[in-house]
Amino acid sequence: MRRRTLAAALAVAAVTAVACGTDTPAPAAHGGELTVWLMNGDLSDKATAAINAAFEKATGAKVTVQIQEWDNINTKISTALAQDNTPDVIEIGNTNVPLFAANGALTDLTPHRDELAAGQTWLPGLAGPATVDGKLYAAPLFAGNRAVIYDKQVWADAGVTSPPKTFPELTAALDKIKAKHPAPDYSVFHFPGRYWFGALQFVWDAGGQIATQQDGKWTGALGSPEAQKGLQAWKDFQNAYSSAASRNVDTKAPDQAAIFSAGGAAAILDTSVNTVLKNKPELKDRLGTFPFPSTTPGKTQPVFLGGSDLAVAAKSRHQDLALAYLKTAADPAVQRDAIAGLDGWTPVSTELIDRITPTLPPLNAAFATAAKTSVATPAAPGWATIESDKSINAFFADIATGRRPVAEAAREFDAHLSEALGAR
């Protein structure tokens, strides 16, 4: 499920509205009406209007957009998809696509994958959850992800004047800052113990996975040697550089951006500098960003991508028009000018990220770079259970606090994963 904390990570300097572009999708139908559900707080009115204008120009059809609230949205979508008068196109949080694909409520888009991708390499963190048992059930719409935000003045005072490019450089820098700020309540790198979005990066970086699938069956995989290595690396990092008080909390209680902006931390892993600047605008010139470096030289840690996909209701009476709408939203010109250009979201392909990154302000470029390396969560309906019951939050907190040894915590959580992901 997408989290509302996934604010736009990018801000492109100058763009042209996509409705005025010359590279809009070719017509797929002519005339008709389409009902589209979009989520509140995601696309701006301008971006939505640009997508709709490009679609209407290509098809001659009219679009009715109905904005939905996030509260209890999965139940509302399930109910809508079961009705004969279902909306035609629905925005779904990327990790929740399998929940609706499993019971046949979404149209199988596999035959149209190439035309939807339009020659682009979709980000795995978006396309992965939309691909269930080898079949595509949704097209990526946008992504949001995380990078390191740090106080350049605090780092410089400790003798660190440039962002680290390797994991050893990062820990060496943090050790210098820790020596300068030894107070036990100070976080050199504030990293909440329940912050599973960030903690998973260590698992993936070590070559581990949350779960693996064989013969159609999902099994928890956090007990593997690779995952164990990553979990231990995360525990060591969290315990060494984040305060003891952070080991059993999440990012919003207390708010990590507020802790950072108040001077309680030298760095955080977050989705945007905007939350920091909202608390303390005068920090703008002191902020720096960089992708979290991998233990593999020359690489960055794989990130969790939050975001949304667009799916077509299996009961839609306007399948051709619905497909045309997805093609419009995924079109490279629309992605460039509306998704990234107007709203600042991460676009859905590595090619587009490469294209826009040189135009970004330095503070925002790190988020685009980090997004190029992502790993998908399990494409199983039961993944929604793992997110909603917050068992994954508690799992990482158990490790951070030492309530359970790494191996024991992984063994117990693997059992829960296997049960939840195997449920139909």
H/E element, 32: none
- Residue 117 CA: distances (Å) to CA of 59, 270, 413: 19, 29, 36
Query: Are 205 and 352 in the same domain?
Result: no
Looking at the structure, tell me whether residues 364 and 409 fall in a common domain: no
Residues 275 and 401 in one domain: yes
What is the average pLDDT across 375-400? 96
Q: Is the pLDDT score of 79 beyond 90?
A: yes
Mean pLDDT for all residues in the chain: 92
Q: Are residues 276 and 343 in the same domain?
A: no
Q: Is the pLDDT reported for residue 236 higher than 70?
A: yes
Q: Are residues 178 and 248 in the same domain?
A: yes
Nearest to 32 by CA among 65, 63, 53, 57: 63
Q: Are residues 73 and 135 in the same domain?
A: yes
Last residue of a domain, one of 336, 353, 371: 371
pLDDT of 81 reads 97
- In this predicted model, what pLDDT tens digit does every residue of 237-272 receive, in sequence order? 999 999 999 999 999 999 999 999 999 999 999 999
Q: Is the pLDDT of residue 412 over 80?
A: yes
Domain presence at residue 217: yes
Instruction: List all residues 6 or more positions away from 88 whose beta carbon is below 8 Å from its beta carbon.
Output: 34, 35, 36, 312, 313, 316, 317, 318, 321, 322, 325
Res 30: pLDDT? 63
Within this chain, do residues 105 and 47 fall inside the same structural domain, yes or no?
A: yes
Q: Are residues 287 and 172 in the same domain?
A: yes
Residues 100 and 33 both lie in one domain: yes
Task: Specify whether the CB–CB gap between 182 and 339 falls below 8 A.
Answer: no
Is the pLDDT reported for residue 342 higher than 50? yes
Q: What angle do CA 251, 180, 256 make, to 5 degrees?
A: 10
* CA–CA gap between residue 234 and residue 26 (Å, rounded): 48
**Count of alpha carbons within 13 angstroms of residue 410, beta-carbon side:** 23
pLDDT at 423 (0 to 100): 73
Q: Report if residue 88 sits inside a domain.
A: yes
Helix (H) and strand (E) counts for the chain?
Answer: 18, 12
Amino acid identity for residue 205 in this structure: D
56 plus 109 within the same structural domain: yes
Q: Is residue 1 part of a domain?
A: no
CB atoms within 10 A of CB 66: 11
The verdict on residue 151 lying in a domain is: yes
**Residue 22 — very low, low, confident or very high, per pLDDT cuts 50/70/90?**
very low
Same structural domain for residues 126 and 151?
A: no
Higher-confidence residue of 414 and 11: namely 414
Range of the structural domain that residue 246 is part of: 147-303+377-422
Could you give the number of structural domains in the chain? Answer: 2
Q: Is 8 within a domain?
A: no
In this structure, the answer to whether residues 159 and 139 fall within a common structural domain is no
Q: For the chain, report the end-to-end CA distance as a whole number of angstroms.
A: 18
Tell me the CATH number at 155: 3.40.190.10
